[in-house]
Amino acid sequence: MSLSESIKKRKEKIAVIGLGYVGLPLAIAFAKVADVVGFDISSEKIKNYRAGIDVTKEVGDEEVQKSLVYFTSEESYLGECKFHIVAVPTPINCDKSPDLKPVIGASKIIGRNLKKGAIVVYESTVYPGVTEEICIPILEEQSGLTCGDDFKVGYSPERINPGDKSHRLENIVKVVSGMDEETLENVAEVYGMIINAGVFKAESIKVAEAAKVIENSQRDINIAFMNELSIIFNKMGIDTLSVLKAAETKWNFLKFRPGLVGGHCIGVDPYYLTYKAEEIGYHSQIILSGRKINDDMGKYVAENTVKKMIKANIQINCSKVAVFGITFKENCPDVRNTKVIDIIRELEEYGITISVVDPVANKKDVYKEYGITLCNVDEIRDVNALIFTVPHEEFKSLGIETLKKMLKQNTYTKTEHVLIDVKGIFNRSEVEESGFLYWRL
């Protein structure tokens, strides 16, 4: 009996290591058709899941509450499993080099609890070669077993889009790979239990690793192009979104938008590819150029905010600005690698006091990560400018009159209202007709 058949008949268990935005939906989905152990080193996260609280907001509290996943932070339970899925983050260091510590740590934990006949599948985004050249030796060292004889390895890149309620785990084609044909078939069969859209069998583990890392690199480059256009059109006095709407009437024009590129994927993954390229003697030109443009957009937004405030006769030093949104994208609580913080820090350099509003972000995470205490919308009063950085649904319902009440009213000095709308969630004509100095990418 194959491992996939044993899992289907609940004779063997699946382990999901890393229960964040990728791992939790995986564990929940697999638990509907198999026995699953959900492991995370964060005891606090496990405590929340056991209490039925979805800290990621990806599947919802109800799904967590009714799920049969055995949530644990005790690694010994992994010894009961034969199919391990690694879904830990792969961030970058301060010098933009890959930080593989989470993947290495997960490999050590699995290795210490690895059984003969097991398959270990990595989902974490890495550069081509990490699974076979870095992870396998660790698994062998920690377990005392031999890869190929005692256990097998595969790679299946995650494709979850945090906060996206349309493109879910089950309806996104899953790329799978294995170190040999037998492993590939087992991995494909196991994922086929939950993926309605089907699986695509990659030729090798390195091909699957490369496919993942270029998916986000492609998006990064396209957004960088939009950001560069925004900079150019801003200098020309042309509204970028108006240009894009006109261009999009052509059937093959790609619909990308300018914006802040943060998070744990698009703003990170390209550095994994360029790191490996440097290692083999090639210096990236297009990828790194796009990265530089996107990395500098926070500072660019801050500079244009200050320019608008000066034009509105607002004294910059000791002024107050409210920033709406600190997560890396809309309708998602994740604040990792958010580029909104670049705007905030840059404005603080000018002596501006910043208040931050975000009903979606976790207050504890924001304070722990950035030392910022979030405010509620009704606490924003007497500020000199408003910056909407993230288009959360909650912000789209705010009317112009509500925005005006948040701003400082000065009858002695002629000042204007300043609204910076990074992603263009408000109607430009209406806002400007209401007396706002308005700017967007």
* CATH of region 3-213: 3.40.50.720
Percent of the chain with pLDDT over 90: 85
Give ∠ CA 69-75-76 in degrees, rounded to 5.
95
Which residues are part of the catalytic machinery? 265
Alpha-carbon distance of 425 to 422, in angstroms, equals: 8
110, 398, 439 from 402: Cα distances, Å: 53, 6, 19
Give ∠ CA 279-282-288 in degrees, rounded to 5.
95
CATH fold for domain 296-439: Rossmann fold (3.40.50)
Evaluate if residue 32 carries a pLDDT over 70: yes
Q: Note the pLDDT tens digit of each residue in 293-346.
A: 999 999 999 999 999 999 998 999 999 999 999 999 898 888 988 999 999 999
Per-residue pLDDT, 218? 95
Give ∠ CA 225-226-229 in degrees, rounded to 5.
90
Q: Categorize the per-residue pLDDT at 410 as very low, low, confident or very high, splitting at 50, 70 and 90.
A: low
Q: Quick one: average pLDDT of 197-215? A: 96
- Residues carrying CATH 3.40.50.720, the chain: 3-213, 296-439
* Per-residue DSSP letter, 408: P
Evaluate if residue 64 carries a pLDDT over 90: yes
Per-residue pLDDT, 415? 59
Q: Quick one: average pLDDT of 278-290? A: 95
Alpha-carbon distance of 9 to 2, in angstroms, equals: 11
Per-residue pLDDT, 1? 86
CB 13 within 8 A of CB 35: yes
Evaluate if residue 411 carries a pLDDT over 60: no
Q: Note the pLDDT tens digit of each residue in 167-198.
A: 778 889 999 999 999 999 999 999 999 999 99
Q: Categorize the per-residue pLDDT at 409 as very low, low, confident or very high, splitting at 50, 70 and 90.
A: confident
Q: Model pTM greater than 0.75?
A: yes
Q: Note the pLDDT tens digit of each residue in 341-371.
A: 999 999 999 999 999 999 999 898 999 999 9
CB 12 within 8 A of CB 150: no
Percent of the chain with pLDDT over 70: 98
Per-residue pLDDT, 336? 87
Evaluate if residue 129 carries a pLDDT over 60: yes
For residue 113 the two structure tokens come to: 């609890």
Q: Are strands 320-324 and 353-357 parallel, antiparallel or unpaired?
A: parallel
Q: Quick one: average pLDDT of 66-73? A: 96
Q: Quick one: average pLDDT of 392-399? A: 91
Kindly tell me the number of DSSP H helices and DSSP E strands found in the chain.
18, 13
Per-residue pLDDT, 163? 67
